[in-house]
Amino acid sequence: MELLSWIVYLTFALLTLGQAVVLAIQTWEHRRYARSCMRGIGDLKASGRAVVLAPCKGLDVAMGENLRALFRQDYADYELVFIVENDKDPAVTMIRRVAAEHPEVEARIVVAGRATDCGQKVHNLRAATAEFPPEVEYLAFVDSDARPRPEWLRTLVARLAESNKIAAVTGYRWLLPERPTLANCLLYSINSALMALVGRSSHCLVWGGSWGIKREAFEAIGLHEAWAGTISDDLVAARELRGAGRRVRFEPGCVVGSPTDDALADAVRFVRRQYLVARYYTPDWWMVGLGGVSLSAVAWLGNLAAIAGAWMWGVLPLWLPIAVTAVLYGLSVQRGRVRQSLVQSYFPEHRSRLHTAARFDVWANPLGTLTGWLGVLGSAVGRQITWRGISYRMLPGGRIGAVTRRDGPMPSPGRHKTHRPATYRKAG
Are residues 252 and 274 part of one domain? no
What is the per-residue pLDDT for 426? 36
Total structural domains in the chain?
2
Q: What is the pLDDT of residue 167?
A: 95
Assess whether 309 and 356 both reside in one domain.
yes
pTM for this entry? 0.92
Instruction: Residue 90: name the closest of 149, 147, 144, 148 by CA.
Output: 144
**C-alpha distances in Å from residue 98, one per residue of 81, 140, 210, 284, 417:** 13, 20, 20, 42, 22
**Measuring CA to CA, which residue among 293, 221, 428 is closest to residue 19?**
293
Does 179 fall in a domain?
no
In a domain, 135, yes or no: yes
Burial of 160 (0-12, 13-18, 19+ CB in 10 A): buried
CA–CA gap between residue 412 and residue 403 (Å, rounded): 13
Q: Which residues contact 409 (CB under 8 A, 6 or more apart)?
A: none
Give the sign of the dihedral formed by CA 394, CA 396, CA 398, CA 400: negative
Residues 109, 215: one domain?
yes
Residue 387 lies in a domain: no
| pLDDT for position 409 | 41
- My answer on whether 248 and 276 are in the same domain is no
pLDDT of residue 388: 85
E strand or H helix that includes residue 343: helix 343-346
- Is the domain of 94 the same as that of 25? no
What pLDDT shows up at residue 6?
A: 80
pLDDT of amino acid 1: 53
Please check whether residues 137 and 256 belong to one and the same domain: yes
pLDDT of amino acid 419:
41
Same domain, 58 and 7: no
CATH number of the domain where residue 146 is located: 3.90.550.10
Query: Do 305 and 159 lie in a common domain?
Result: no
Does residue 389 belong to any structural domain of this protein?
no
Residue 153 maps to a domain: yes
Which domain range does residue 153 map to?
Answer: 41-172+207-262+413-419
Same domain, 246 and 292: no
Residues 113 and 60 in one domain: yes
Residues 83 and 149 placed together within one structural domain of the fold: yes
**Residue 145: inside a domain:** yes
User: 236 and 121, same structural domain?
Assistant: yes
Q: Could you read off the pLDDT tens digit of each residue along the chain, which spans 428 residues?
A: 577 878 899 999 999 999 999 999 999 999 999 999 999 999 999 999 999 999 999 999 999 999 999 999 999 999 999 999 999 999 999 999 999 999 999 999 999 999 988 999 999 999 999 999 999 999 999 999 999 999 999 999 999 999 899 999 999 999 999 999 999 999 999 999 999 999 877 667 899 999 999 999 999 999 999 999 999 999 999 999 999 999 999 999 999 999 999 998 888 899 999 999 999 999 999 999 999 999 999 999 999 999 999 999 888 899 999 999 999 999 999 999 999 999 999 999 999 999 999 999 999 999 999 999 999 999 999 999 988 889 999 999 899 988 888 754 433 333 344 444 333 333 33
